[in-house]
Amino acid sequence: MKNLKIIILLIPFVFFGQENSNLDYLYPKEDLIIKYHDSWGRNNYKKLIKEFKKKPLDFNDIVFLGNSITAGGNDWSRRLNYPNIKNRGISGDVSDGILARIDEIVHFKPRAVFLLIGINDLWNNDPNIPSSNYIANNIIKITQVIKERSSNTKVYVQTLLPVEKDIYRVKIKKINNIIKLNEKTNSYKVIDLYSVFVNDNGLIKNELSKDGIHLNEKGYDTWVQFIKPTVYSIKPY
């Protein structure tokens, strides 16, 4: 009987360890190459994926998903004074990078996803490669994958922010227009951040950015105030 008790006590610990290790399949393999990552972004992607593995999402979280602009918001729960918001921004990431790591998102069935991605697709490469259509279609594909595999998740697509470099102005606007035009035929809602951050010249407002692409604290405060009503409309669990 003593031996039997020992076996019974050990079983939960064995299964617990197996359950955690089995989550590795939710994350991209380390040798995966994302086509439009630059060299810095590729290394940072691998680094952050390792960190995400150590601290996976919880079921029913709200997820902020994107690149450095999202990552720079740090603790979105604190910023928005709302529980269970997780930051899944990776500096340097591109739309294909999001698609490659979408398994973790859909596995944990988030209540909502706030997506902001696309500027690095342009910034990391020749301004014409990939095309605006390619980037916009990837963004729409991300929303479709989320809804197909986590049907109760509310998906919010935030429009690309303007930047200080005029060379990207038309392409950013085209991507945003495609996102808006496809809203009615897809299961996502558009949050037009672009309209809040753009100046009369179609570039980012200087007072909201620290370097012409990334946001300063005033920029993040502006973002928070704009999306707070949407976040607070999501019922807590």
Spell out the long-range contacts of 3-6 with Cβ–Cβ below 8 A and sequence spacing 24 or more.
none
Report the C-alpha gap between 228 and 81 in whole angstroms: 9
Residue 182 per-residue DSSP state: T
pLDDT band for position 11 (50/70/90)? very low
Map tokens 């979408």 to a residue: 102
Task: For 110-137, write each residue's pLDDT tens digit.
Answer: 999 999 999 999 998 887 889 999 999 9
Report the C-alpha gap between 13 and 16 in whole angstroms: 5
pLDDT band for position 21 (50/70/90)? low
Map tokens 């988030």 to a residue: 110
| Average pLDDT along the chain | 92
Going from N- to C-terminal start, the domains of the chain cover 33-232
Report the C-alpha gap between 43 and 37 in whole angstroms: 9
CATH number of 33-232: 3.40.50.1110
pLDDT band for position 55 (50/70/90)? very high
The yes-or-no verdict on residue 6 having pLDDT over 90 is no
What are the φ/ψ torsions at residue 234 (nearest 5 degrees)? -85, 120
- Half-sphere exposure (CA, 13 Å, Cβ side) for 53? 17
User: Could you give the angle at which helices 169-181 and 132-149 cross, rounded to 10 degrees?
Assistant: 40
Contact indicator for 139, 157 with CB cutoff of 8 Å: yes
Element (H, E) at 63: strand 62-66
Task: For 203-233, write each residue's pLDDT tens digit.
Answer: 999 999 999 999 999 999 999 999 999 999 9
Q: For the chain, give the number of residues.
A: 237
